[in-house]
Structure 1
């Protein structure tokens, strides 16, 4: 998932695109709509308004933005290339972007609990020595001796392994930054304005900065459309929705698997580290206080 700051930028971009679609739908021209939005003072919107007034490449300006701006630029680029109504195209893009944001938010919430629990448990070994000192067992003096020093070193190594492995497992469980089904949305946008399948895919790939063959879902939708005579646009938009639905289900499954996988560093690293950093010095401190040889 993106960081919260990036998520805020995505929301701002989607909000601006929504307002732009409303203004264009009300009959305003592109340059006029951008000029009204530029009053808000966003630097990217101001640049887009200036370029729109000059008849330049607005999509190129939008691509320089972060997060959702790149996806909005792709929709703008495809719509202008095929002469599609910009208001309708932006509304379709905003719907897909909002749906994708909801999917990522749900996955982020699902992943947050196991990650937070793992981080909390990782702090337990660090509290071992201070806890022993509060109990009057003098573990700091014990760890200066050979056996205590060995326990301290081994505990720190295990603790470091736990600290490194937990974020790694969490990163593997996070979904990709891309929007599921976005390629299908762009192809549908181009086809809705009368473009051929080949041109629609080429425009979609160029707008996304990709150079690849249509995905299995798009190929299946187009093949079904040709065989059954069903509208390809609706089939592609249905495929895009299914892709986001699958991403939501996959994200929830990844969060559930993460809870289980985090038990591995907990059992192999964190708990042994707690024993070595807290229990062993405490026991050695008790033995030392009874004047028994260590």
Structure 2
């Protein structure tokens, strides 16, 4: 956003990058590329992550002659929306994941709980049944943690920015580029337009509606769908985490807490002959 403000004030891209560099190697490299007439977008894409997406948008705007300041403002708004989506999904996932992690460690509290009740849980190692219960219980704890982590990873949103290809296509078309050229530019740096983008372009062609506005709307809808999917995934995760709880965690608690207590009681009450 700061770069967009500097460009709006009339500064050349190289000068604007210099003002923002502040010793940052990437921004310094971008300033040098702008001064020498090289591809600034390629420099940004080499960093990876979100810089790769910004570099793709910069490269398209530079190729079609779109205003860089307006382009960067659109990019900042899209990135802000995508960040809000990820934050909302992370908050929705935090409670079920934290609860599952806490319950996963619950069986291991069985041993100190037995000691607090005056029993000697370690004496279970003198019995073959106790050794089997200990090994099986620890195995179930490990299986529960692995299962829980896998479910949590599957519920996490991916790193892609929802609707970014629609934003790129809108930038390419905003300066009068043809649809064929816009598709070629987006395809060369972003894997090609998605089904939603193609549907928006088809609707624009059939109805005569502004393609750029339709693409902006498609980008917003993509982020809205990502937010909805994230919330639904968090809700489903809360239910799915009950499966490892019932299959692994509760049996592990019985093996590590109840079995040692029962063996301790038997040892203390049965008098050897």
> Scaled by the length of structure 2, what TM-score is found?
0.96
Q: Is the 8 A contact 1:97 1:179 kept in 2?
A: yes
Q: Does 1:32 align with 2:11?
A: no
Q: Is the 8 A contact 1:183 1:205 kept in 2?
A: no
Unpaired runs of 5+ residues, structure 1, are 1-17
Partner of 1:271: 250
Deviation at 1:48, TM superposition (A): 1.2
How far apart are the structure 1 equivalents of 2:267 and 2:32?
A: 78
How far apart are the structure 1 equivalents of 2:146 and 2:36?
A: 51
Q: Does 1:91 align with 2:73?
A: yes
1:114 aligned residue (96, 121, 135):
96
Query: Which secondary structure state, in structure 2, belongs to the residue aligned with residue 143 of structure 1?
Result: helix
Q: Does 1:70 align with 2:52?
A: yes
Partner of 1:55: 37
Deviation at 1:56, TM superposition (A): 1.5
Deviation at 1:182, TM superposition (A): 0.6
> Structure 1: which 4+ aligned runs deviate by more than 6 Å?
none
Q: Does 1:252 align with 2:231?
A: yes
Q: Is the 8 A contact 2:196 2:218 kept in 1?
A: yes
1:235 aligned residue (214, 229, 246):
214
> Scaled by the length of structure 1, what TM-score is found?
0.90
Unpaired runs of 5+ residues, structure 2, are none
| Residues 292 and 46 of structure 1, relative CA distance in 2, 3 Å threshold | farther
Q: How many residue pairs end up in the alignment?
A: 272
Could you report, residue by residue, the CA deviation over 1:195-244 in whole angstroms, capped at 9, with x for unpaired residues? 11111111112222x2x4x3221121111111111000000110010010
How far apart are the structure 2 equivalents of 1:223 and 1:292?
A: 87
How far apart are the structure 1 equivalents of 2:174 and 2:48?
A: 28
Partner of 2:124: 142
Partner of 1:217: 196
How far apart are the structure 1 equivalents of 2:271 and 2:165?
A: 73
Q: Is the 8 A contact 1:143 1:281 kept in 2?
A: no
How far apart are the structure 2 equivalents of 1:160 and 1:79?
A: 51
